[in-house]
Amino acid sequence: MAYYEKRGSAWRAQIRRKGHPTLSATFDTKADAQRWAAEIEGDMSRSRFVDTRAAMRTTLSKALQQYDREVTEHKKGADQERTRIKRWLKHPIAEKALGEITPSDLAEYRDERLKAGAASATVRLDLAIISHLYTVAAKEWRLEGLTNPCQNLRMPKGSKARDRRPTADELRRVYAEAAKLHPELPVIIELAADTAMRRSELLLLRREHVKDKIAVLEDTKNGERRLVPLSSRARELLKSLPARIDGKVFSLAPNTVSNYFPKACQAAGVSGLTFHDLRHEATSRLFERGFAIMEVQAITGHKTLAMLKRYTHLSPHALADKLG
């Protein structure tokens, strides 16, 4: 027989049946608790009962730590994902058992983060970790009876695609201020706006990867090898850099560039520009120069045409000139 108890704003259901373990779970409403109890008791009667005690003993905190070791460790974006995991571990919800976490718990987290000013894309990525964790827990860790609370959760709407493109004058001013911070910085910025290479791809570049008119990227964000054609300007910029004993093209670390770039923009009086916007700029330039979609995709490494479209913003002035 099932027993129901109201705890704060939630309802706790408990099932005691001879020959079966005592089970309990917490739900947003009494109706949800009653449906759960009816399903469990029905499964017990038909000998289809699934023991969920392991799921009820495993806290989100413990599961996230295991997820970090077994899943995050092997991802290219491990550092960024670990930052999200640390944020989850500090939240009170981390002390709840996996089987107790409800969609309303995650909705509360979603609303808290959005109210605090977090971007919708950031919150979506936070919740994506939890959703994948439940999938891994059910399929690989054999935690039976788990229901992914993200399945019935309304995700934040996607952020509007950025269409910020720097003007030639803005870039000149940024180059000038960047040179005051570090001699390599203006070269990095100009190459990003010319080649469409990502920050990490540029800063991990080695001399042996630059072969005549091609930069060979062995390790990209997508995990695939990519050949990036270099314009005469890009080749000139690379040749202007002194050779390093360690074989690297640049001495600056990715995080250093991330810190320096906004400082250079601020000093130059340029607002609303991010380093990743330079990749958008380079992609748009390729289209404006007449490259076909598949040619641009081969250069930039975008996985799908939909992604390529999101990061491409053609200048209306260039299009008007093309119309005649």
Task: Say yes or no to pLDDT of 49 above 60.
Answer: no
Q: How far apart are CA 4 and CA 25, in angstroms?
A: 10
183 closest CA partner among 247, 264, 255, 246: 264
CB-CB contact of 192 with 202 (8 Å): yes
List C-alpha distances in Å: 125 to 68, 89, 131, 273: 15, 15, 10, 22
Structure tokens at 59: 């806290």
Q: Give burial (CB, 10 Å; 0-12/13-18/19+) of 202.
A: buried
Instruction: Specify the pTM.
Output: 0.62
- Counting every residue written for the chain, the total comes to 324
List the beta bridge partners of residue 248: 206
Instruction: Identify the pLDDT of residue 233.
Output: 94
Higher local confidence (pLDDT), 206 or 157: 206
Q: Give burial (CB, 10 Å; 0-12/13-18/19+) of 162.
A: middle
Higher local confidence (pLDDT), 1 or 48: 1
pLDDT tens-digit series, residues 200-213 = 889 989 999 998 89
Q: Give burial (CB, 10 Å; 0-12/13-18/19+) of 161.
A: exposed
- Per-range mean pLDDT, top range of 139-143, 202-206, 263-267, 320-324: 263-267
Higher local confidence (pLDDT), 1 or 58: 58
Residues annotated as part of the active site: 198, 221, 276, 279, 302, 311
Place of tokens 């320096």: 260
